A = this chain, B = another copy of it.
Amino acid sequence: VTDSEQKHRFNQQSLVEMEKRYRTNFINSLSGYKSANLIATLSPEGISNLAIFSSVVHLGADPALVGFINRPHTVERQTLENIYATGSYTINHVQQDFYQPAHHTAARYPADVSEFETVGLTEQYTDFDAPYVANSNIKFGVNFVEKMDIAANKTVLIIGEIVEVLCDQKYISNDGKIDINAAQSVAVSGLDEYHTGNLLGRLPYAKVKKT
């Protein structure tokens, strides 16, 4: 059996013809492991909101910028409206001991219900303008910077600046790395599969090989 026979090839036509749910699962798996984070906000009326996102992406360290992709007109719309109204949100790592309630925040609760209460997670406040998830060991406060509309599918990239970090000191190494493995942060694959990490190795800075 040759390599090409072991592989299966899907062309554009076969992707288009996939049944909708099958295609959603298939395409969602393709990007690989995704971060699992809870984004917490306050409505202008002071009602807390909590929603799980697998699209948080590092944008840069200086300034400290982070992005996430938001679908329009979905359950996460409350998150978006609260961010636009208040300018503030927190991003909290989902960790092994609460990934199940974290997943449940994706249910479509009405705006006057706090998902903290519904799923059984605990709010925590500093003097920052949005709530944190007390259950999470790694979390940070973000000020909204900019939104970018993605014309191709009407999703939105939300860009923010990290202005506060709460992290157990024991997870921070001397060079600033945070041991998200020891903290039992989880990764998502597809829509609904959660994983912890198994460290394979920490590799040195890549340099051109001398001949």
Contact = CB atoms under 8 A, between A and B. Distances in A.
B165 A9 contact: yes
Given A34-B35, A56-B31, A107-B206, A196 B193 contact: no
A208 B8 contact: no
Contacts of A55: 57-58
A39 to B, nearest CB: 12
B198 A203 contact: no
Given A20-B62, A35-B31, A208-B108, A181 B186 contact: no
Interface stretch (A41-49, A78-86, A149-157): A149-157
B31 A109 contact: no
A29 interface: yes
Interface in A130-181: 134, 137-138, 140, 145-146, 148, 150-153, 155, 157, 159, 161-169, 172-173, 175-178, 180-181
A31 B10 contact: no
B208 A200 contact: no
A134 B108 CA distance: 42
11 contacts: A31-B56, A31-B66, A32-B93, A32-B187, A55-B57, A57-B57, A107-B209, A146-B152, A152-B161, A194-B200, A194-B201
